[in-house]
Structure 1
Amino acid sequence: MDKAYLESWLNVGECVNVQMPNEIFEDLSKAEFKSFNHKCFAYAYYYLTCYLYRNALYGGKTDQYSQQNIIKVFTSNKSSVSYITRFEGVLDNMNYTKTTTDYPVTYYMYDGILEFGLIKELRKKMPDLEINHSPRFCVKEPIKGMTRFDGEDYTGTFYSFQNTHKIDVNQFITIVNDGKLGHVGLYLFGYINMMCDKFSKYRVTNEELAKMVGCSERTIQSYMVRLEELGLIKSTKVTLNCKTQKFYSV
């Protein structure tokens, strides 16, 4: 998928960005994935799930936001990641997503609180409403967007930005559309983004960073170089105790 298609598909000019929960990195590290790439896919997929739901994009040409089309953004082999995205798959079992047929077609503010207009409610008010998608159409509700703490309503990342990090949708498009980055690049960028929120300049060696995220130093080196080439991160080298570290900023 090219950049222009993604910008149109995600309605970039009219949509709001979403926050990602910082605990997602620790939670994903506890889940069982077949590879590091699949863990990164789960992160990217959850970001997209949050973005589509928060902006109620399903209310337009609904079928273009089918699970099959969403997965195509990241991989051409749907079956290889189906264990992550399917009903009661990894993300559902992690309590990060919920498979549902009751999707948002609009959103609005009520008494200063974000609310969603769901399709089932709309159908009750408009019985003759034409359905422009297949009968089996379903979406993923991002649970962490709704609730994060003790199951309390309105505590999710859609309502509170506490302990979150943000990836601008234009950054998302740049990264996933780049042949050298993709969902692995997005995962690493998200991690650096989170750490730079905590520290004005985040200092770490490639070896340390690789251990933290669960990949090889070689992967860190190549992806960090590419993120810098695209102007998404900045770094300054320092030498301490004969070890080369970098100060990262975004």
Structure 2
Amino acid sequence: MDKKEIEAWLNPSECINVQIPNEIFEDFGKAEFKSFNHKCFAYAYYYLISYLYRNALYKGRTEQYSQHNIIKVFTGNKTVVSYITKNGGLLDQLDYTKTTTDYPISSYIDDDVVEFGLIKELRKKIPDLELNHSPRFSIKEPVKGLVRFNREYYTGTFYSFQNTHRIDVNRFISIVTDDRLGHVGLFIYGYISMMCDRFQSGYQITNIELGEIVGCSDRTIQNYTNRLENLGFIESTRRIFDNKLLHKVYSVR
């Protein structure tokens, strides 16, 4: 998909942005991804399914939000990442996703709490409801959006923004559709964004240190942060002490 197709697909002008749990970086850092690239794919994939679920975009033509189309946004080879996204796959094992045929087709606020109208509930209430939705159609439920602390419902990122970071969906689209950024650029941007939330005066770190934290080389960090900076998504300065350039200090624009 190109940028215009994804914008039409995600309808950012009428949808709500989502929060991502900060612990995702630590959890993914411990997981057995086959490569750094796959870890970045999983991060972008989780963002996307969270956005689709929170905005109940499945109420339209479900086939356009099939797992095939979602994965197609990030990779042309579904088989390569199937160990991450399949039923019982790595994200399911990490309790970040769950395969379900009961998906939201509406969302509403009740007593200041977001509630979802699920397809199975609606079919029970209106048995003769005419919906062009196959009962076999399944989605990946973003578990952390619903359940996060002590396995209790209403503790997820859809209800509490505690210890989370947010990426505006328009920025998400711009990053993942950029030929030199994609899901790797999104992962690095997401981590810097999280740290800038913690350090309001800027996040100070070297390329080597940042690479060690996220799991890639300092050259990769340099290439992607330079591109993010050139596109105006982040900015950086260097602090000088004793006539020596110190760590980069990042901020999100």
Normalised by the length of structure 1, the TM-score is: 0.97
Q: In 2 relative to 1, CA 84–240 (structure 1 residues): closer, same or farther, beyond 3 Å?
A: farther
Alignment of 1:25-44 (within 5 A): 25-44=25-44
SS at match of 1:215: coil
Measure how far apart 1:243 and its partner are. 6.1
Measure how far apart 1:111 and its partner are. 1.6
Counterpart position of 1:165: 165
Alignment of 1:97-116 (within 5 A): 97-116=97-116
Contact 1:53 1:142 in 2 (8 A): yes
Contact 1:63 1:134 in 2 (8 A): no
Matched positions, count: 250
Counterpart position of 1:248: 250
Q: What is the letter of the counterpart of residue 91 of structure 1?
A: L
Counterpart position of 1:231: 232
Paired-residue identity, %: 68
Separation (CA, whole Å) in 1 of partners of 2:136 and 2:221: 40
Alignment of 1:138-153 (within 5 A): 138-153=138-153
Alignment of 1:1-250 (within 5 A): 1-200=1-200, 201-239=202-240, 244-250=246-252
Contact 2:102 2:118 in 1 (8 A): yes
Measure how far apart 1:136 and its partner are. 3.1
Separation (CA, whole Å) in 1 of partners of 2:112 and 2:178: 38
SS at match of 2:128: coil
Separation (CA, whole Å) in 2 of partners of 1:20 and 1:240: 36
Root-mean-square deviation over aligned CA pairs = 1.2
Separation (CA, whole Å) in 1 of partners of 2:239 and 2:229: 17
Measure how far apart 1:124 and its partner are. 1.0
Q: What is the letter of the counterpart of residue 236 of structure 2?
A: S
Contact 2:207 2:221 in 1 (8 A): yes
SS at match of 2:25: helix
Contact 1:102 1:120 in 2 (8 A): yes
> Which stretches of structure 1, 4 residues or longer, exceed 6 Å deviation after superposition?
none
